[in-house]
């Protein structure tokens, strides 16, 4: 059983969903990224997604895109991402890399899988890789014992859900709505139906992301999903802070509120 599997099992035993937090590597700065993530974990984030900065983040809204651009401008590269994963893994939380396909392909599939495993990483989320093009990646992740996480959306047909879940390990990432990342005033009603449809094809945990920013939204999703994914809200808290220390404090506070939300979802 991997650390990722263990965390989902622990959350199930507690009668709650897992809280998954995202932060791009190198943001708000190279030095401050790990302390911020440590604050997230200390205040209730169960699983951490480390974003691999990429110059063409098609799925990302303006909040995350701005953070990624800043990280790239500061010189953050794939080796820095792997170093941050090592630090995250040391907290005890499973560390996942969220990456578009091009950087992994350029690094080398086997090299990336080996380096991530050596850093203590648990898996990779690839939002723009399709199962039809994933055979070499499936082989690499199997070889190095890391999870490969694919996305489904409300528009996914039953046949598509069957295909995606057949090659996914770790958990299924269910996008709550069509479109890019970003906080929203409400979570799409399609999310619950999507989770129910995915469960017709797999026993893997199903986690919902895109648009979650408040404890109430986290509780709403936690009532039916196995995990709640939050990204833009954490990044925005850092962007609006007056200093890295203030940002870490804001992120810690938000993590605590969201953790309370996921624990309230099934009461």
pLDDT at 51 over 50: yes
Q: Is the pLDDT of residue 178 over 50?
A: no
Query: What pLDDT sits at residue 61?
Result: 85
The CATH number that applies at residue 82 is 3.20.20.70
Q: What is the mean pLDDT of residues 107-113?
A: 98
Looking at 60, 80, 220, 226, which residue is catalytic? 60
Q: What is the pLDDT of residues 117-148, one digit of tens each?
A: 999 999 999 999 999 999 999 999 999 999 99
Per-residue confidence (pLDDT) for residue 67, from 0 to 100: 95
What's the rounded mean pLDDT across residues 251-261? 97
Q: Is 220 a catalytic residue?
A: no
Whether 238 has a pLDDT exceeding 50, the answer reads: yes
Q: Would you say residue 213 has pLDDT above 70?
A: yes
Q: Which of 49, 80, 220, 226 is catalytic?
A: 49
Q: Is 60 a catalytic residue?
A: yes
- Give me the count of residues in the chain: 267
Q: Is the preceding omega at residue 28 within 30 degrees of 0, hence cis?
A: yes
Task: Using pLDDT thresholds of 50, 70 and 90, give the confidence band for residue 59.
Answer: confident
Domain count within the chain:
1
Summarize the confidence of residues 147-160 as an average pLDDT: 96
| pLDDT > 90? residue 182 | no
Q: Is the pLDDT of residue 186 over 70?
A: no
Q: Is the pLDDT of residue 86 over 60?
A: yes
Q: What is the pLDDT of residue 210?
A: 81
Which pLDDT belongs to residue 187?
56
Task: Give the chain's mean pLDDT.
Answer: 93
Q: Give the residue-averaged pLDDT of 180-205.
A: 78
pTM > 0.85: yes
Q: Rounded mean pLDDT of 240-255?
A: 96
Look up the domain containing 145 and give its range: 3-264
Q: Return the closest-CA partner of residue 114 out of 75, 85, 151, 77.
A: 85
Mean pLDDT confidence for 217-227? 95
pLDDT of residue 177: 59
**In this model, does residue 188 exceed pLDDT 90?**
no
pLDDT of 14 over the 50 cut = yes
Q: What pLDDT sits at residue 11?
A: 97
């Amino acid at each position: 059983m991997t650390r990722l599997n263990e965390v989902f099992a622990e959350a199930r035993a507690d009668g709650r969903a897992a809280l998954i937090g995202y932060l791009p590597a190198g943001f708000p700065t190279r030095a401050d990224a790990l302390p911020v993530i440590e604050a997230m974990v200390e205040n209730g984030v169960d699983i951490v997604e480390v974003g691999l900065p990429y110059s063409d983040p098609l799925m990302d809204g303006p909040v995350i895109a701005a953070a990624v651009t800043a990280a790239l401008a500061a010189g953050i590269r794939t080796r820095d991402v792997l170093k941050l994963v090592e630090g995250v893994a040391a907290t005890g939380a499973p560390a996942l890399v969220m990456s578009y396909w091009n950087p992994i392909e350029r690094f080398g599939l086997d090299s990336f899988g080996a380096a991530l495993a050596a850093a203590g990483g648990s898996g990779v989320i690839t939002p723009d890789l399709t199962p039809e093009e994933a055979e070499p990646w499936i082989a690499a992740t199997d070889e190095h014992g890391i999870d490969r996480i694919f996305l489904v959306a409300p528009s996914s047909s039953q046949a598509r859900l069957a295909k995606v879940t057949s090659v996914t390990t770790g958990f299924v990432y269910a996008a709550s709505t069509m479109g890019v990342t970003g906080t929203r005033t409400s979570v799409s009603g399609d999310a619950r139906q999507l989770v129910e449809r995915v469960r017709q094809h797999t026993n893997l945990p199903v986690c919902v992301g895109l648009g979650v920013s408040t404890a109430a939204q986290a509780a709403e999703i936690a009532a039916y999903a196995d995990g709640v994914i939050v990204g833009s809200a954490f990044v925005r808290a850092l962007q609006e802070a007056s200093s890295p220390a203030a940002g870490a404090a804001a992120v810690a506070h938000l993590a605590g509120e969201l953790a309370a939300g996921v624990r309230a979802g099934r009461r």
